[in-house]
Amino acid sequence: METAARRGALAVAARAVARRLNADHTDPAGPTLPCRCGHTAHYAGRKAKTVLTALGELRLERAYYPCNACRSGFCPRDRVLGVDGVSLSPAVTRMVGTAAARVSFAEGSALLGALAGLPVNAKQVERTAEALGREIAADEQQQVVPAEEAESAPPLYLGMDGTGVPMRKEEVEGRPGTQADGSAKTREVKRCTVWSAEGRDTDATCSAFARRVEREARRRGVDRANRRAVLGDGAPWIWNIAGEYFPAAIQIVDRFHAKAHLSGVAKVIYGATSDLGAAWAKARHDELDAGQLHKIVAALATHSRSCPDASKRDEIRKCIGYVWGNRRRMRYPAFRAQGLCTSTAVVEAGCKVAIGTRLKRAGMHWTVRGANAIIALRCSKLSGRFEDFWERRAQSRVAS
Ligand SMILES: [Zn+2]
């Protein structure tokens, strides 16, 4: 009964809104208007179009200006209402964005039907969400307003890492990867999570990515933080960005990653299931926590000398390089004494939340264009900027 009543009430409301909009004939702005192609379009009476709104379908009649030169046409009213070239109203577009940021396009379509009673098929959800994501990505590049004073509680952390997103075949053709035959199945999404000790927030391409990190840091009040720290897994690009954009920031290799690295080498040395390997790794972890990096390097060097397998020796030497090369970034006792966070659990969690749960689900294969758009959409939601975006979007429409 309630569902039927809602349907009925919405239908009444939809008719009332349609009547009001269709009674307003102020939209023909003269017999001719300039077309986007540069030629002149001539008024040709009113034309009807069906738009899906939060109230259901609306039949809109609006002044139509066809252009003979480019064989297309436009309606000034559509631009005012935000339905130019699309059949979904802004409110429905926003619902689509909310759903598609969280779940797959097919699931989003099902949710819109079940919760809002709106028939939007999966393909339409995909097209609409990707167009919206591109709009949000463009908007994000324009908006660098620093956070309110109170929001930037120092120290401010910048945690960076990368994660592979499964791609469609054509997107990875000819690209080197980690598959057995040397091919690639994924492409890397670089991420930066900006957080302070009190609160945290997530946000998600190399120079474009560096500029994105810088914008986000400015928004979060990086200039006012009394201490800055960049946390990473040890990938060189992270330190390059840190050195270039945040030279004063303390660089820290995520302790969790450093330990995972040592555990990995333990498996190389002792085999994947050896209890000796586990004990060896535990001893190295303790040395790491205690800041005894020279002991770790000594233990690794012993194995690299005695190991008969050349490829294993190579792995061990790489690990020595990792530890020694990052020694200044692994002074954990000193960092702890300064009250600094030394683990990127926040980044890891952020990576999973921002990318994994939406883009790396079973059977998903992305185009670069599609993945970029949906990541922008999802990060806008997760960073609490979705509402601001819609406010700006509505304002820009009023202004035009
Ligand atoms: Zn034209």
Q: How many residues does the chain have?
A: 400
Whether residues 111 and 156 share a domain: the answer is no
**CA 8 – CA 193 distance, rounded (Å):** 46
Give the pLDDT band of residue 11 (cuts 50, 70, 90). very high
**Is the peptide bond preceding residue 31 cis, with omega within 30 degrees of 0?**
no
Which sign, positive or negative, has the C-alpha torsion 159, 160, 163, 169? positive
Task: Say how many Å lie between the CA of residue 44 and the centre of ligand 1.
Answer: 14
Residue 258 burial (CB < 10 Å; 0-12/13-18/19+)? buried
pLDDT digits (tens, 9 = 90+) for 39-66: 999 999 999 999 999 999 999 999 999 9
Task: Say how many Å lie between the CA of residue 38 and the centre of ligand 1.
Answer: 6
**CA 338 – CA 368 distance, rounded (Å):** 41
Task: Say how many Å lie between the CA of residue 66 and the centre of ligand 1.
Answer: 8
**Average pLDDT, rounded, for the chain:** 86
**Angle 118-119-122 (CA atoms, 0-180°, nearest 5)?**
120
Whether residues 318 and 353 share a domain: the answer is no
Segment 291-298 shows an average pLDDT of 93
Task: Say how many Å lie between the CA of residue 26 and the centre of ligand 1.
Answer: 22
**CA 309 – CA 319 distance, rounded (Å):** 16
Whether residues 129 and 167 share a domain: the answer is no
pLDDT at residue 196 in the model: 64
Please check the confidence at residue 242 and state whether its pLDDT lies above 60. yes
The phi-psi region of residue 71 (left if phi > 0; otherwise alpha if psi is between -120 and 50; otherwise beta) is left
Which sign, positive or negative, has the C-alpha torsion 55, 57, 61, 63? positive
pLDDT at residue 5 in the model: 94
pLDDT at residue 147 in the model: 60
pLDDT at residue 112 in the model: 96
Segment 280-285 shows an average pLDDT of 94
Task: Say how many Å lie between the CA of residue 391 and the centre of ligand 1.
Answer: 31
**CA 285 – CA 385 distance, rounded (Å):** 40
Q: Report DSSP state, residue 145.
A: P
Please check the confidence at residue 250 and state whether its pLDDT lies above 50. yes
For residue 387, the Cα-to-chain-centroid distance in whole angstroms is 16
Query: Both tokens of residue 171?
Result: 């997107």
Most confident of 67-71, 182-186, 343-347: 67-71
Task: Say how many Å lie between the CA of residue 41 and the centre of ligand 1.
Answer: 7
pLDDT at residue 29 in the model: 75
Nearest C-alpha neighbor of 175 from the set 315, 41, 368: 368
CA distances for 218 relative to 20, 246, 247, angstroms: 45, 11, 15
Residue 127 in domain? yes
207 compared with 96, residue with greater pLDDT: 96
Task: Say how many Å lie between the CA of residue 67 and the centre of ligand 1.
Answer: 5
Segment 176-198 shows an average pLDDT of 80
pLDDT at residue 311 in the model: 87
Please check the confidence at residue 189 and state whether its pLDDT lies above 80. yes
Please check the confidence at residue 201 and state whether its pLDDT lies above 50. no
Provide the pairing of β-strand 56-63 with 65-67.
Answer: unpaired
Whether residues 204 and 352 share a domain: the answer is yes
pLDDT digits (tens, 9 = 90+) for 69-113: 999 999 999 988 999 999 999 999 999 999 999 999 999 999 999
Q: Percent of the chain scored above 70 by pLDDT?
A: 92
Provide the pairing of β-strand 186-196 with 65-67.
Answer: unpaired
Segment 345-361 shows an average pLDDT of 78
Task: Say how many Å lie between the CA of residue 143 and the centre of ligand 1.
Answer: 33
Question: Is there a contact between 61 and 82 (Cβ–Cβ < 8 Å)?
Answer: no
Please check the confidence at residue 194 and state whether its pLDDT lies above 80. no
Whether residues 219 and 285 share a domain: the answer is no
Task: Say how many Å lie between the CA of residue 61 and the centre of ligand 1.
Answer: 21
Provide the pairing of β-strand 228-232 with 156-166.
Answer: parallel
Instruction: For 14-58, give the DSSP string.
Output: HHHHHHHHHH------SSEEE-TTSSEEE---EEEEEEEETTEEE
Instruction: Give the domain range for residue 199.
Output: 149-254+343-374
pLDDT at residue 149 in the model: 55
23 compared with 343, residue with greater pLDDT: 23
Domain count, the chain: 4
Give the global pTM. Answer: 0.69
Please check the confidence at residue 146 and state whether its pLDDT lies above 50. yes
Task: Say how many Å lie between the CA of residue 49 and the centre of ligand 1.
Answer: 20
pLDDT at residue 198 in the model: 43
Task: Say how many Å lie between the CA of residue 58 and the centre of ligand 1.
Answer: 27
What DSSP element (H or E) covers 59? strand 56-63
Task: Say how many Å lie between the CA of residue 33 and the centre of ligand 1.
Answer: 10
Whether residues 250 and 260 share a domain: the answer is no
**CA 101 – CA 387 distance, rounded (Å):** 14
Task: Say how many Å lie between the CA of residue 32 and the centre of ligand 1.
Answer: 12
Residue 337 in domain? no
Segment 111-129 shows an average pLDDT of 95
Residue 66 in domain? yes
What DSSP element (H or E) covers 164? strand 156-166
Whether residues 351 and 394 share a domain: the answer is no
Task: Say how many Å lie between the CA of residue 34 and the centre of ligand 1.
Answer: 8
30 compared with 94, residue with greater pLDDT: 94
Task: Say how many Å lie between the CA of residue 115 and the centre of ligand 1.
Answer: 40
Whether residues 154 and 250 share a domain: the answer is yes
Q: Report DSSP state, residue 234.
A: S
Residue 54 in domain? yes
Task: Say how many Å lie between the CA of residue 201 and the centre of ligand 1.
Answer: 46
Question: Is there a contact between 131 and 376 (Cβ–Cβ < 8 Å)?
Answer: no
Task: Say how many Å lie between the CA of residue 65 and the centre of ligand 1.
Answer: 9
Please check the confidence at residue 197 and state whether its pLDDT lies above 60. no
pLDDT at residue 202 in the model: 36
pLDDT at residue 142 in the model: 83
Q: Percent of the chain scored above 90 by pLDDT?
A: 48
Residue 274 in domain? yes
What DSSP element (H or E) covers 137? helix 122-142
Whether residues 179 and 119 share a domain: the answer is no
Whether residues 203 and 349 share a domain: the answer is yes
Residue 161 burial (CB < 10 Å; 0-12/13-18/19+)? buried
Residue 40 in domain? yes
Whether residues 198 and 290 share a domain: the answer is no
Please check the confidence at residue 308 and state whether its pLDDT lies above 80. yes
Whether residues 355 and 391 share a domain: the answer is no
Residue 336 in domain? no
Give the pLDDT band of residue 152 (cuts 50, 70, 90). very low
